[in-house]
Chains A and B, each alone.
Chain A
């Protein structure tokens, strides 16, 4: 009897002959799937600590930068009432906003200067509307001297109850609060925050009446309400509320205001210029494209997005220069790297190892050491100039300026990035069989023809890989251009660093960084297509 027909134990052979079972009675398929799942899970568990670490310490920060390049909550957070009041104002009509906006502005600024955030808002707006920061600075100082009691006095004259905390408690309990009294509600919140900052936690705001700005806001809310609405307060079953509004009902239109518009005009002319208001209105949404527009030297004006005037265009020029210099550096690396890689690939193992050390030593030497070496060599009183003077190539007066300009950046960066070109080229050239060249020559090709038609095309992948690598590294370089580039040899990275640490325009730094990142990722994607992410080799 052959083994195949013998029914063995029911554990190993299926009952229905289509599902083989394992030793423990599970169908084989399920068992294998389980094992595979366990293996996947184990791999993921090994990877997850690092993955979480990288996401928290690296990916989130990059995400934060991308977010910052569009984030713009500062206007909304600092001038909440003004932004709300401005929603009715049409910026395209060349007209100033109405008194209610100025009242809201006075109210918001009162709190902003108390917690000292108005200058920060001023500097933010100044990026888009040059000159506006001084308007804010001046107003911060003057805001406490504004007359704000007119509305309050008029209300209290009509109905003395308005001067009591109970009146405000009644108002806050009304169904119409805060929907029908948006400006008042906002102003009341501002006042509570202001009070807390001014007096600390000991004061109970429910035992006090708010300051004049809140009364002004109340008057504006009432004046915007339809008369029928106010009539409904008077006739409502809420007797406390009815009492507050009975004497007001007929007189609302005549209630005076403090003419904040005129008062602001006196503080600074900037407040009666429509373009300043247009800037505030434009920047009130919490997401903005203004940083990106600034990164490509454009701005949003009344006529839409326009190019900045010629003399203010810096970033596009910097991007172009960064790309141009990176290309020059890449080309010099190809020119200098190709012969060395060729030499390495064609020497005996022992000799090529010796030469490789000469390539790897600079590769392993600190970037700052190499940069300082170039700084020493290239300066006007440095080694190269001394040597040239000594050799009578140039005279004392004709010492070359090779540093703090483009030349310095190109020389130093070519030196620094050259190993990144040589190593991939070398690994490609090592694989080219010498018999190709011999075959070409045996068929009558001259040395140069054989090289250009046979050898060179085989090394193109290496040139591609090396070039993309050098180019990617080069466009993001910061340290070397900063130290040897002067003003004409700096890259976009230097501008990003400047905006982070000196001008503190973080949004613009983030936008410039995002554009640079996009550029690098696109290049990297190309690199991955040509070389493959797993083929990155070190040394």
Chain B
């Protein structure tokens, strides 16, 4: 399929182009179109969720930034934005620090009960969010953490750690153990070895793990919906209520901003992946 051979019959040619441009084109369109549609709609001058005739005629009258203005001036949205940026970094810091340590521990050659430990550490990623939310709601209200900032941060940190573990362990796989031995043989203590030798090499994995943890917390809505009180209302929560109750076009402006954030994160991740492969001497694929 990669390249159509010169001897291909007409039927094969038709199928090749149909498959590539019609079938796959349609599926890729299905994947990307919803996201691309909301971007122009967020500049709608009217409070509609569909393209107005002015917009289709590319009339500047049909476009405006009023929904963005709405987002940046509305108290509710600004509070939600602030909460999101208070919760996500704290959760990221916690899960990255603990997750990196554990990943280093897990990649040692002799770890007792490795499978069992791994299963427990990965479990927050496997258990459906609604079950995690239910359990945490019951348990955190017993110990007085329900409806508090730290309750949400702890919960989000727990949900983010599996991603940190997976990305950091993946970086550790290519790590050359003789480097730490070399450092030790030259008199470096374990802490110095870690910061001078190991850390610079695994940092891309740590950063992409942190990004995953950040996006997990930043996008998370189920757990915060149950665990948080009005004081912890995050951006996704505000969107959720907006979508459920009175859907306002401001949501589309918020959505567009979040798509922009995703694109930035995706780019950073890709750059990190390439850097990591270069550092570990693998050829980029």
The listed residue (B28, B109, B236, B263) touching A368 by CB distance below 8 A is B236
Q: Is B137 an interface residue (CB 8 A)?
A: yes
Question: How many residues of A sit at the interface, in one of the four size bands?
Answer: 35 or more
Question: Among the listed stretches A60-68, A139-147, A297-305, which one makes contact with chain B, having 4 or more residues with CB under 8 Å of it?
Answer: A60-68
Question: Among the listed stretches A238-246, A284-292, A477-485, which one makes contact with chain B, having 4 or more residues with CB under 8 Å of it?
Answer: A477-485
Least CB distance, A438 to chain B, in whole angstroms: 10
Chain B 31-51: CB-based contact to A (< 8 A → 1; otherwise 0): 110110110010000001111
The chain A residue sitting closest to B263, CB to CB, is: A361
Known interface pairs A55-B120, A483-B240; A368-B127 also in contact (CB < 8 Å):
no
Residues of chain A lying within 8 A (CB to CB) of residue B117: 47, 51
Are B49 and A376 in contact (CB-based, < 8 A)? Answer: yes
Known interface pairs A381-B50, A386-B50; A51-B121 also in contact (CB < 8 Å):
yes
Chain A 342-366: CB-based contact to B (< 8 A → 1; otherwise 0): 1100111100000101111110111
Are A517 and B127 in contact (CB-based, < 8 A)? Answer: yes
Are B226 and A365 in contact (CB-based, < 8 A)? Answer: no
Residues of chain B lying within 8 A (CB to CB) of residue A382: 49-50
Are B31 and A47 in contact (CB-based, < 8 A)? Answer: no
Chain B 99-141: CB-based contact to A (< 8 A → 1; otherwise 0): 1011011101111100101111111111111111111111110
Are B30 and A368 in contact (CB-based, < 8 A)? Answer: no
Q: Is A43 an interface residue (CB 8 A)?
A: yes
Are B24 and A47 in contact (CB-based, < 8 A)? Answer: no
A51 and B109 CA atoms in complex are apart in Å by 18
Are B121 and A372 in contact (CB-based, < 8 A)? Answer: no
Residues of chain A lying within 8 A (CB to CB) of residue B121: 47, 50-51, 54
Question: Among the listed stretches A88-96, A111-119, A181-189, A506-514, which one makes contact with chain B, having 4 or more residues with CB under 8 Å of it?
Answer: A506-514
Are B32 and A373 in contact (CB-based, < 8 A)? Answer: no
Are B98 and A375 in contact (CB-based, < 8 A)? Answer: no
Residues of chain B lying within 8 A (CB to CB) of residue A475: 128
Are A61 and B31 in contact (CB-based, < 8 A)? Answer: no
A349 and B51 CA atoms in complex are apart in Å by 37
Chain A 485-529: CB-based contact to B (< 8 A → 1; otherwise 0): 000000001001100110000100110010011001100100000
Main SS at interface, chain B: helix
Residues of chain B lying within 8 A (CB to CB) of residue A381: 48-50
The chain A residue sitting closest to B128, CB to CB, is: A476
A473 and B106 CA atoms in complex are apart in Å by 26
Main SS at interface, chain A: helix
The listed residue (A49, A340, A513) touching B130 by CB distance below 8 A is A513
Are B239 and A538 in contact (CB-based, < 8 A)? Answer: no
* Residues of chain A from 429 to 466 with CB closer than 8 A to chain B in the complex: 434, 447
Residues of chain A lying within 8 A (CB to CB) of residue B131: 62, 65, 476, 496, 513, 516-517, 520
The listed residue (B2, B27, B102, B133) touching A340 by CB distance below 8 A is B27
Residues of chain A lying within 8 A (CB to CB) of residue B263: 361, 364
Measured CB to CB, the residues of B under 8 A from A are 1-2, 12, 15, 19-20, 23-24, 27-28, 30-32, 34-35, 37-38, 41, 48-51, 94, 98-99, 101-102, 104-106, 108-112, 115, 117-140, 142, 154-155, 157-158, 161, 163, 165-167, 169, 212, 215, 218-219, 221-222, 226, 236, 239-240, 243-244, 247, 251-252, 255, 258-259, 262-263, 265-266, 269, 285
| 22 CB-based A-B contacts, threshold 8 Å | A39-B110, A46-B108, A51-B102, A53-B161, A57-B157, A58-B132, A65-B138, A340-B31, A359-B31, A362-B35, A368-B239, A373-B35, A374-B34, A379-B49, A382-B50, A383-B41, A383-B49, A479-B222, A513-B130, A533-B118, A533-B119, A534-B169
Q: What are the 3 closest A-B residue pairs judged by CB atoms, nearest first?
A: A476-B128, A46-B105, A61-B135
13 more A-B residue pairs beyond the given contacts A377-B37, A501-B226, with a C-beta to C-beta distance below 8 A: A46-B102, A47-B102, A53-B161, A59-B120, A65-B134, A68-B138, A339-B23, A359-B28, A371-B243, A372-B239, A373-B35, A383-B49, A520-B127
